[in-house]
Structure 1
Amino acid sequence: MTLYPIEAGNFKLDGGAMFGVVPKSLWSRTNPADNNNLIDIGARCLLIEEGNQLTLIDNGLGDKQSDKFFSHYHRWGDFSIDSSLKKLGFHRDDITDVFLTHLHFDHCGGSIQWNKDRTGYEPAFKNAKFWTNKNHWDWAIKPNPREKASFLKENLLPMEESGQLHFLDRDKGSHFYKHLNFGVLFVDGHTEKQMIPHITYQDKTLVFMADLLPTVGHIPLPYVMGYDTRPLLTLGEKEAFLEKAADEGFYLFLEHDAHHEIITVKRTEKGVRLDQTYTFNQLFNS
């Protein structure tokens, strides 16, 4: 098995929304904001090559939305799914599986694209199975008012209509549980049944953090996003995970931190805190 980080494109979000009740004077120490109070956000995905299976975890915002839509997210940099795959000698048609941690637009928007004449939508990965879970799917297609702006029908319904949508069965195991090196933690604080992949690679446990831990700045327990639907539940889920990560030496792959790829954490008198930061190449290709 071989892993590759895939940069799907950077954007910006409001710092206050990203840190909820935490004052700017505190969160800006780790996540400095520009004059519009916007902070840098990444869309760092993960590609898993194992035999004939090529799995992409999440895929960023995509590019099918209107200029008005993207004006709210201030995309920056030159990263894209296609350019990242091309550097590795892959094409999106090579992808056999797309594993979606959850269905908010910044995690699954790249799943669907316009068709050639822009009269409708089609899967952007024509040979792939799209993986979510039934509980989260039902939550997403009938969204609550809080998350309605994050669950976009044009990202979701074409997956179902294509016949490429599949549900991971958390009780009976599934396609992804056939290998002991891939496990999934289900968490509910950010959204219903978000999936956090744990991958054993080169004798290390690499955890794809999605929105359980968006950036380095979110390590302290009260630093919870304003986007989370159940912030008190996030507190408990994050505390339990970070304590286990510190005790067992997990390597945390940060999807949304534009400036830090992988970190480890440690226990301190103030609680779990940052230990080390790594680039992917430092950790796995040195």
Structure 2
Amino acid sequence: MKIYPIETGNFKLDGGAMFGVVPKTLWQRTNPADSNNLIDMSMRSMLIEDGNRLILIDTGTGNKQSDKFFGYYYFFGDFSLDTSLAKHGFHRDDITDVFLTHLHFDHCGGAIQWNKDRTGYEPAFKNAKFWSNKNHWQWAVEPNVREKASFLKENINPIEASGQLNFVNIPNGDFAQNTELGFDILFADGHTEKQMIPHIQYKNKTIVFMADLLPTVGHIPLPYVMGYDTRPLLTMDEKATFLNKAADNNYLLFLEHDAHNELCTLKHTEKGVRLNETYKFNEVFN
């Protein structure tokens, strides 16, 4: 098995929205804002090469939305999904599986693209199975008012229409072991219904793809919860359980949205679980 970080693009979001009720004087210590109160965010996917399977976890936003839509998010930098795949010798047609942690636009938008004459949409990965779960899919196709702006029909409906949609089995508890994709999955409901957090065993370490359970290292303290979360108190409980387990077991946390830190580890302190170290992926896995 080989794992590659795949940078699909950087954007900016309102710092207040990203940290909910936490005052700016506190969160700006780790996530400094610009003059518009915006903080840097990444969309860092993960590529897993395992035998004859090439699994992509999340896809970034893609590029099919309007200039007006993208104008809200202040994209910056030169990263793209295609150039990042090419850097490691791959093309999107090589992808066998696209695993979507959840269906918010910044995680799944790149799964669907315009067709050749821009009259409709088609899968951006023509040879891949797309993976979600039934509960989250239903949550996304019949969105609540809070999340409606993040669940975009043009990102979601064409996946089902393609015939390439598959569902991961939901366990009785919150943790599925040795799933169809070859890794464990933690199901978390605080951010959105049945968000999926992959746990990958790699070179004698456990790497956890954090998605929106932990967007950046600045979100490690329990009250630092996004305003986007539908059930913030549940997020705090889920974080508490996970962060303690991560610190106990020295998990490597793969940060999808932290523009400046790819991996981190945690430690126990008198104030609770806190950041231990940050790393570039290649510093740990040469």
TM bracket (short chain):
over 0.9
- Aligned partner of 2:87 in structure 1 is 87
Alignment of 1:188-207 (within 5 A): 188-207=189-208
State the one-letter code of the partner of 1:221.
Answer: L
- Structure 2: give runs of 5+ residues left out of the alignment: none
- Aligned partner of 2:243 in structure 1 is 242
**What TM-score do the two structures reach when normalised by structure 1?**
0.97
C-alpha deviation, 1:182, in angstroms: 1.0
Say which SS state the counterpart of residue 257 (structure 2) adopts. coil
Q: Kindly tell me: are residues 65 and 159 of structure 1, through their superposed partners in 2, closer, same or farther at Cα, counting changes over 3 Å?
A: same
Residue 98 (1) aligns with residue 98 (2): yes
- Aligned partner of 1:221 in structure 2 is 222
C-alpha deviation, 1:178, in angstroms: 5.1
C-alpha deviation, 1:170, in angstroms: 2.5
- Aligned partner of 2:171 in structure 1 is 171
- Aligned partner of 1:161 in structure 2 is 161
Say which SS state the counterpart of residue 131 (structure 1) adopts. strand
C-alpha deviation, 1:117, in angstroms: 0.4
- Aligned partner of 1:26 in structure 2 is 26
Alignment of 1:1-286 (within 5 A): 1-171=1-171, 177=179, 182-285=183-286
CA deviations over 1:38-86 (Å, ceiling 9, x no partner): 0000000000001110000001011000000000000000000000001
C-alpha deviation, 1:90, in angstroms: 0.3
State the one-letter code of the partner of 1:184.
Answer: I
State the one-letter code of the partner of 1:255.
Answer: E
Instruction: Work out the CA distance in 2 between the residues paired with 1:200 and 1:193.
Output: 22
C-alpha deviation, 1:177, in angstroms: 1.8
State the one-letter code of the partner of 2:213.
Answer: L
8 Å contact kept, 2:191–2:231: yes
Instruction: Work out the CA distance in 2 between the residues paired with 1:33 and 1:201.
Output: 35
8 Å contact kept, 2:168–2:180: no
C-alpha deviation, 1:171, in angstroms: 3.3
C-alpha deviation, 1:99, in angstroms: 0.2
State the one-letter code of the partner of 1:177.
Answer: T
State the one-letter code of the partner of 1:244.
Answer: K
8 Å contact kept, 1:168–1:174: no
8 Å contact kept, 2:176–2:185: no
Say which SS state the counterpart of residue 9 (structure 1) adopts. strand
Q: Kindly tell me: are residues 64 and 178 of structure 1, through their superposed partners in 2, closer, same or farther at Cα, counting changes over 3 Å?
A: closer
State the one-letter code of the partner of 2:147.
Answer: E
C-alpha deviation, 1:174, in angstroms: 9.3
C-alpha deviation, 1:176, in angstroms: 6.1
Instruction: Work out the CA distance in 2 between the residues paired with 1:84 and 1:104.
Output: 21
**What TM-score do the two structures reach when normalised by structure 2?**
0.97
8 Å contact kept, 2:177–2:184: no
State the one-letter code of the partner of 1:82.
Answer: D
C-alpha deviation, 1:158, in angstroms: 0.2
State the one-letter code of the partner of 2:285.
Answer: F
Number of residue pairs matched by the alignment: 284
CA-atom RMSD in angstroms:
1.5
8 Å contact kept, 1:168–1:175: no
- Structure 1: give runs of 5+ residues left out of the alignment: none
CA deviations over 1:165-215 (Å, ceiling 9, x no partner): 100012399996257x61000000000000000000000000000000000
Say which SS state the counterpart of residue 158 (structure 1) adopts. helix
8 Å contact kept, 1:185–1:196: yes
C-alpha deviation, 1:139, in angstroms: 0.2
8 Å contact kept, 2:177–2:185: no
C-alpha deviation, 1:22, in angstroms: 0.3
